[in-house]
Chain A
């Protein structure tokens, strides 16, 4: 067993270890009901993530050289995104409105991602089916980012969109390059841009948290970071995958802080509990 084979299960275990206290904390928020209904969805979503991580960790330890077939962790991840999406829908409440631009971008961007997953794995039914919650989640995020005016400086949104597209195009380009050195160079370039974008999202989240922005803005920004780090991890392999997984784990406490800062709402869980 190579050194890297130990790193992945260790990182998955670490992510589960980070998620467990978050679950305990948000379960408490869910009981108190002061932060609206989102913590309830988030708690269940984090449970899904934890179980998926534990499954992935055990698989990586027991079968290090095998590619995981379609398994329960995909259901858990799918459930996580559906729960987060349901939470965002509930959060938007009566204010939600149809945003064709956000929808179109979500469809195009996530479809391009799914196409790449299929090209890499060949599992087209699985990737298409389990990619759908990503599309829905991405749409809700893009819509939410617009709603909360997450882009402070003009041109920030365009820059974010272009960066995401460039990373995808570079990954797609690699499918057609046969020369190993060129392929590796393009891969490194794509990862560098991807990690740069991640760093920028971390900075935006930091600023939003520091400025004590109202909860929803930080929540949408932190969930964007969470989704982006997951997408980056899917684009990377070996050591780069482990780095991306580590970065994804770092995004969890930021989402947790954002959830804690959410304002309550009139239809919140606490009120709901009282009528039972």
Chain B
């Protein structure tokens, strides 16, 4: 058993102090990274509570319910930032990437601390697959929210729609890796594939916005 709160304090304190010396995008990124880590801890609390409440068992909760809880917890800081600061598209993406990587980093830290880091393949999978999955789902969510705003459909149902895409993507990954065999490898490939698909899309949308900006 590890004390996740202590791990969070250990990682967060230097980053919090770093915030005092940073400006602009770097400051936003570190702040969102910290929010991502906090969201991960909160998701663990909520997940534990729901596991107890639903009686679904640890494995089933991790496969079926944790994608819903984790994506909601990741959405909240993005939504808060979006509604409060009305950021530009690139800033929204920056914050989403920060939250996704913060969430993935903290989750990886806790897993490695609790299960050990002796096996290099395991550590590589955790880093390059699970980490990327959180990042991809957040980028997808940010792109979704950006599109909702762009096409003036930024409503509650629109937000739930964008959230559902991130949740289902995460859930498909969890489901694929829950069974041994080929499905696990397909699951491992999914986040990387998602990153490859989203990378040009994100650049396209952001690039297009930048092109439009001077004339408006």
Contacts and interface: CB of A to CB of B under 8 A. Distances in A.
Nearest to B152: A272
Interface in A92-117: none
A83 B60 contact: no
Interface centre among B150, B169, B171, B179, by most chain A C-beta atoms within 10 angstroms, is B171
Given A51-B165, A72-B68, A76-B167, A58 B157 contact: no
B108 interface: no
A70 interface: yes
Given A47-B165, A75-B68, A37 B178 contact: no
B168 A55 contact: yes
B176 interface: yes
B165 A37 contact: no
A276 B216 contact: yes
Contact of A51 (B64, B68, B164, B212): B164
B65 interface: yes
Interface in A31-89: 37, 40-41, 44-45, 47-48, 51-52, 54-55, 58-59, 61-63, 69-73, 75-76, 78-80, 82-83, 85-86
Contact of B161 (A62, A82, A272): A82
Contact of B64 (A48, A61, A71, A76): A71
B183 A62 contact: yes
A44 B153 CA distance: 10
A44 B158 contact: yes
B170 A72 contact: yes
Interface residues of B, number: 37
B58 interface: no
Contacts of A73: 168, 171
A272 B158 contact: no
A45 B155 CA distance: 13
A30 B151 contact: yes
Contact of A44 (B64, B161, B167): B161
Interface of A: 30, 37, 40-41, 44-45, 47-48, 51-52, 54-55, 58-59, 61-63, 69-73, 75-76, 78-80, 82-83, 85-86, 90, 269, 272-273, 276
Given A40-B152, A58-B172, A70-B64, 18 more contacts: A40-B153, A41-B157, A44-B161, A45-B161, A51-B165, A55-B168, A62-B183, A70-B54, A72-B167, A75-B164, A76-B167, A79-B161, A79-B164, A82-B161, A86-B157, A86-B158, A90-B153, A273-B152
User: Which 3 residue pairs of A and B lie closest in terms of their CB atoms, listed nearest first?
Assistant: A72-B171, A82-B157, A79-B164
